[in-house]
C-alpha cells in the first residue's frame, strides 16, 4: 500500500510540474563550427546561432546564462537575443549586480534566434561556451543547455588579391600635404611614380601612417602598394595639388 501511494505521489508531481524542457525546442543544442579566416582584422566577430521555439500553449519567459568554460584569454564573447545585443561583460540577461533585467519573452508558437558572437582579437584557438536556459520563475532549474564549440584558424593565403579589401583607398585624394590608406594589411611598401613610370619616392608602410607629398609638384601620380613576397598588390591614381590662396 505504501509503495502504491509513493507511485501515485510521483505521478501527481510530474503532472503538476510537467517536463520543463518540453516548453521550448532548441533547433541545435550543440553548435560545432570551424572558421578559417583572416585574423589580421581586429574588429572581426564570428556568429554562431540557433533557433529557440516555444512549443507550449503558454507564454514563456527565459533567463539565459553564458558560461565561458574554455577559450583563449584574448577572446571575448557576447550574446544577442530578441531583446538586446549585450557587451561581453554581461553574462546573463537577468543580473542584479549589473542591473540587467530583460527576460526573453516567447508567446506560444513563436521563435527567436539566439546568437553567440566570438571576437577572436587576432587570436586563433578553440573554445567551449555554454548557454544555460531557465524559466524566470525557476531560475535555478536549467531546462536546456546550448553548447558552442568554435574553432578559429588563420586561413592560408593562396591569392593575396582575394584578401585585399574591396574598399581599399587613399585619402584625401587629391592630396596637398599627405595621404593615408584605409588599411595597410599585407602592404609592406608604398611606391609613388610619375605617369611615365619613374619612381619619385617610396615609404615603408604602417597602419595609420601618413605619407607626405607636400614637396611633390602638382599633378597625377601612380601609387603602388607592394608586398615583398607577392609584388604589387594594387596601383592607385593620386592627384597632388598645392594649397590654393
Q: How many domains does the chain have?
A: 2
**Dist. CA 25–CA 228, nearest whole Å:** 54
Give the residue from 154, 180, 199 where a domain finishes. Answer: 154
**Dist. CA 115–CA 150, nearest whole Å:** 13
Model confidence band, residue 146 (pLDDT cutoffs 50, 70, 90) = very high
Is the domain of 102 the same as that of 211? no
172 is in which domain, residue-wise?
A: 160-240
Of 103-112, 198-207, 226-235, minimum mean pLDDT range = 226-235
Is the domain of 146 the same as that of 186? no
Which contiguous run of DSSP H or E holds residue 14?
helix 2-17
User: Residue 231 above 70 pLDDT?
Assistant: yes
Contact (CB, 8 A) for 102 and 93: yes
Maximum distance among all alpha carbons in the chain?
Answer: 106
User: Residue 20 above 50 pLDDT?
Assistant: no
Is the domain of 117 the same as that of 192? no
Per-residue pLDDT tens digits for 59-75: 999 999 999 999 999 99
94 is written with which cell numbers?
A: 537577468
**Dist. CA 27–CA 22, nearest whole Å:** 13
Give the residue from 106, 137, 154 where a domain finishes. Answer: 154
Is the domain of 66 the same as that of 100? yes
Q: Is residue 35 classed as helix, strand or coil in its secondary structure? A: strand
Dihedral over alpha carbons 218, 220, 222, 225 (to 10 degrees): 60
Model confidence band, residue 45 (pLDDT cutoffs 50, 70, 90) = confident
Contact (CB, 8 A) for 171 and 139: no
What is the pTM (predicted TM-score) of this model? 0.59
User: Residue 21 above 60 pLDDT?
Assistant: no
Q: How far is CA 84 from CA 27, 98, 113, in A?
A: 21, 15, 12
More confident residue, 166 or 94: 94
**Dist. CA 192–CA 199, nearest whole Å:** 6
Is the domain of 191 the same as that of 144? no
Query: What's the whole-number mean pLDDT along residues 191-195?
Result: 92
Is the domain of 120 the same as that of 150? yes
Is the domain of 67 the same as that of 178? no
**Dist. CA 145–CA 49, nearest whole Å:** 13
State the CATH number of the domain containing residue 32. Answer: 2.60.40.10
Is the domain of 90 the same as that of 148? yes
Contact (CB, 8 A) for 60 and 106: yes
User: Residue 135 above 90 pLDDT?
Assistant: yes
Q: How far is CA 154 from CA 77, 116, 150, 164, in A?
A: 19, 20, 13, 16
Question: Which pLDDT value is given to residue 7?
Answer: 41
24 is written with which cell numbers?
A: 521550448
State the CATH number of the domain containing residue 228. Answer: 2.60.40
Amino acid at each position: 500500500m505504501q509503495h502504491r501511494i509513493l507511485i501515485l505521489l510521483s505521478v501527481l508531481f510530474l503532472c503538476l510540474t510537467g517536463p520543463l524542457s518540453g516548453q521550448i525546442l532548441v533547433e541545435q543544442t550543440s553548435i560545432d563550427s570551424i572558421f578559417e579566416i583572416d585574423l589580421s582584422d581586429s574588429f572581426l566577430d564570428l556568429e554562431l546561432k540557433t533557433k529557440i521555439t516555444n512549443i507550449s500553449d503558454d507564454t514563456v519567459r527565459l533567463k539565459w546564462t553564458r558560461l565561458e568554460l574554455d577559450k583563449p584569454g584574448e577572446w571575448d564573447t557576447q550574446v544577442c537575443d530578441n531583446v538586446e545585443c549585450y557587451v561581453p561583460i554581461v553574462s546573463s540577461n537577468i543580473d542584479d549586480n549589473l542591473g540587467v533585467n530583460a527576460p526573453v519573452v516567447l508567446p506560444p508558437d513563436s521563435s527567436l534566434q539566439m546568437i553567440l558572437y566570438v571576437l577572436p582579437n587576432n587570436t586563433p584557438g578553440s573554445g567551449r561556451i555554454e548557454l544555460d536556459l531557465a524559466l524566470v520563475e525557476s531560475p535555478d532549474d536549467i531546462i536546456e543547455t546550448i553548447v558552442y564549440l568554435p574553432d578559429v584558424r588563420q586561413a592560408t593565403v593562396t591569392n593575396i588579391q582575394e584578401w585585399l579589401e574591396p574598399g581599399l583607398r587613399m585619402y584625401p585624394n587629391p592630396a596637398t600635404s599627405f595621404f593615408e590608406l584605409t588599411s595597410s594589411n599585407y602592404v609592406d611598401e608604398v611606391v609613388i611614380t610619375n605617369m611615365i613610370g619613374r619612381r619619385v619616392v617610396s615609404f615603408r608602410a604602417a597602419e595609420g601612417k601618413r605619407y607626405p607629398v607636400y614637396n611633390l609638384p602638382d599633378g597625377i601620380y601612380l601609387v603602388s602598394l607592394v608586398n615583398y613576397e607577392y609584388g604589387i598588390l594594387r596601383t592607385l591614381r593620386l592627384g597632388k595639388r598645392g594649397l590654393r590662396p
